């Protein structure tokens, strides 16, 4: 619809009093009308314009298609590259964690072995120190033996075989103490070396554990993780970074150092064992020689003492048996009280029978006879008890005489036996060196 027609059809509805813009008013047969001023175009121009707009849109749509296809290709390529890059680094992190885990396992095993070796060498060192401390006991015992034997009197105060063996024992003990002290010093130095290697591996292991935690956290990160973000300087190389060969060599050095120190420690432990065994044998051999000399000095008196001890045991055994019999006799006497009470109670109660029933019948005679038998039995038991008590007293007197005689014999052996008793400590020392 043209502007003129539009104006004519709506002239009755528009009230125009002046011209405004590109429009002007006029009067027609039907009233006032409105017309637009300016250039008008031909139909060809109109058709050409439409054709140009359509072809331009078609050309731009084709260009847009190529752009969209290129964009999609680029997006797919970059997505694939991004995914492959992320997957490759995830794989690299996994491989790195495998390398770290392998070294971690090796370090843990070597640390456990080193710790066990430290414990073993510490035990050997403590054993050597204990053996060195234990040498004080034989040293004191031997000097006590020499001092005790020096108080012998008269003809017994001689420089006999026992004294000679005791002096040799002093020389053996002093030599053992020097050897033990030397091994204690060597063990201390080796423990320091082992501890240094152990500490280095523990530090290395702690670093690898921390690194493993970091790499595990990185390995678990995905595009959907909540704790991801941009970080300034993410590509910066930190100070102190090392190459993989240096990283691998560091742990290899720590483990090889520990292995070498464990080997040296094992050799030292073997040397300690051999030395302790040899010194123990030397000490034990000298102890046997010295005590053999002691036993020859006390053999004859010991025989008499053994005889007295045998008689003491027999006498004590007989006293115990007789004591049981005496207790049995006392119990037998006590056990007759109730039957006697029964007999006398029956006899008493039967005296209350009335008139002609108070008859001396068979129960009456039987009860009287039973009472008399019980009284005789009790008397016999009392006599036997008195005899047993006398025998018991005599056995005790005999035992006292045996004890006195044993004390006399023991006094003759006192000095030598005091030495032998003191030397019982050497038996424990020789087995614990």
Percentage, residues of the chain above pLDDT 70: 86
What's the pLDDT score for residue 40? 82
pLDDT in tens, 270-322: 999 999 889 889 999 999 999 999 988 888 768 877 888 899 999 999 999 98
Q: Which of 378, 250, 398, 384 is nearest to 313 (CA)?
A: 398
How many residues are there in the chain? Answer: 433
Q: How confident is the model at residue 15 (pLDDT cuts 50, 70, 90)?
A: very low
Q: pTM to 2 decimals?
A: 0.56
| Residue 61 binned pLDDT confidence (cut-offs 50, 70, 90) | confident
On the question of pLDDT at 22 being above 90, the answer is no
**Where does the pLDDT of residue 81 fall: very low under 50, low under 70, confident under 90, or very high at 90 and above?**
confident
- Give 2 or 184, the one with higher predicted confidence: 184
For residue 13, pLDDT over 50 is answered with no
| Average pLDDT over every residue of 405-413 | 75
Band (229; pLDDT cuts 50, 70, 90): confident
Asked if the model's pLDDT at residue 156 lies above 60, the reply is: no
CA-based nearest residue to 433, from 8, 81, 127? 127
Q: pLDDT band at 18, cuts 50/70/90?
A: very low
Average confidence score pLDDT of the chain: 82
pLDDT above 90 as % of the chain: 30
C-alpha distances out from residue 23 to 16, 18, 34, 74, 411, Å: 11, 10, 7, 55, 160
- Name the least confident of 45-54, 108-117, 344-353: 344-353
What's the pLDDT score for residue 154? 60
Tell me which of 4 and 416 has the higher pLDDT.
416
Categorize the per-residue pLDDT at 263 as very low, low, confident or very high, splitting at 50, 70 and 90: very high
pLDDT reading at 232 higher than 80: no
Mean predicted confidence (pLDDT) in 5-19: 38
Torsion (CA) 92, 93, 96, 97 in degrees, nearest 10: -150
Q: How far is it, in rounded angstroms, from Cα 298 to Cα 307?
A: 15
For the chain, report the end-to-end CA distance as a whole number of angstroms: 130
Does the pLDDT value for residue 431 go beyond 50?
no
* Number of CB atoms found within 10 A of residue 236's CB: 8
pLDDT reported for residue 267: 95
More confident call, 94 vs 34: 94
Winning range, highest mean pLDDT, from 175-184, 239-248, 347-356 = 175-184
pLDDT for 308 = 87
Give the pLDDT score at 237. 66
Give exposure, 36-67, as e/b (b: 16+ Cβ within 10 Å).
eeeeeeeeeeeeeeeeeeeeeeeeeeeeeeee
Topology classification of domain 89-221+245-296:
Substrate Binding Domain Of Dnak; Chain:A; Domain 2 (1.20.1270)
Distance CA(149)–CA(335), nearest Å, equals 62
The rounded distance, in Å, linking the Cα atoms of 108 and 101 is 10
Q: Is the pLDDT of residue 350 over 90?
A: no
């Amino acid at each position: 619809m043209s502007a003129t027609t539009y104006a004519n059809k709506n002239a009755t509805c528009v009230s125009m009093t002046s011209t405004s813009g590109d429009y002007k008013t006029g009067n027609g047969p039907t009233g006032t009308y409105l017309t637009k001023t300016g250039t008008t175009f031909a139909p060809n121009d109109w058709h050409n314009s439409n054709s140009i707009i359509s072809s331009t849109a078609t050309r731009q749509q084709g260009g847009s298609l190529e752009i969209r296809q290129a964009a999609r290709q680029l997006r797919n390529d970059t997505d694939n590259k991004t995914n492959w890059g992320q997957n490759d680094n995830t794989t690299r992190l996994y491989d790195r964690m495998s390398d770290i885990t392998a070294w971690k396992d090796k370090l843990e095993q070597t640390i456990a072995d080193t710790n066990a070796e430290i414990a073993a060498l510490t035990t050997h060192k403590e054993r050597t120190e204990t053996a060195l401390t234990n040498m004080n006991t034989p040293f004191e015992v031997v000097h006590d033996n020499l001092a005790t034997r020096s108080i012998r009197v008269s003809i017994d105060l001689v420089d006999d075989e026992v004294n000679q063996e005791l002096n040799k024992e002093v020389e053996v003990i002093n030599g053992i103490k020097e050897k033990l002290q030397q091994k204690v010093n060597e063990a201390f130095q080796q423990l320091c070396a082992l501890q240094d290697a152990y500490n280095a591996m523990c530090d290395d292991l702690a670093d690898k554990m921390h690194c493993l935690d970091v790499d595990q956290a990185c390995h678990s990160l995905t595009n959907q993780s909540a704790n991801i973000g941009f970080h300034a300087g993410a590509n910066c190389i930190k100070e102190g970074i090392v190459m993989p060969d240096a990283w691998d060599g560091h742990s290899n050095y720590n483990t090889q150092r520990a292995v070498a120190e464990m080997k040296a420690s094992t050799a030292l432990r073997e040397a300690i064992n051999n030395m302790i065994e040899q010194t123990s044998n030397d000490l034990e051999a000298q102890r046997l020689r010295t005590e053999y000399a002691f036993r020859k000095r006390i053999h004859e008196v010991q025989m008499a003492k053994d005889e007295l001890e045998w008689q003491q045991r027999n006498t004590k055994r007989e006293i115990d048996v007789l004591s049981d019999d005496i207790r049995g006799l006392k119990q037998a006497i006590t056990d007759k009280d109730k039957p006697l009470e029964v007999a006398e109670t029956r006899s008493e109660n039967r005296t209350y029978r009335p008139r002609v029933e108070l008859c001396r019948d068979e129960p009456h005679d039987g009860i009287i006879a039973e009472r008399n038998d019980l009284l005789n039995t009790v008397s016999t038991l009392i006599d036997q008890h008195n005899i047993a008590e006398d025998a018991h007293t005599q056995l005790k007197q005999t035992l006292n005489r045996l004890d006195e005689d044993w004390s006399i014999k023991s006094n003759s052996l006192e000095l030598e036996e005091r030495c032998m008793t003191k030397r019982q400590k050497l038996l424990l020392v020789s087995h614990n060196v």
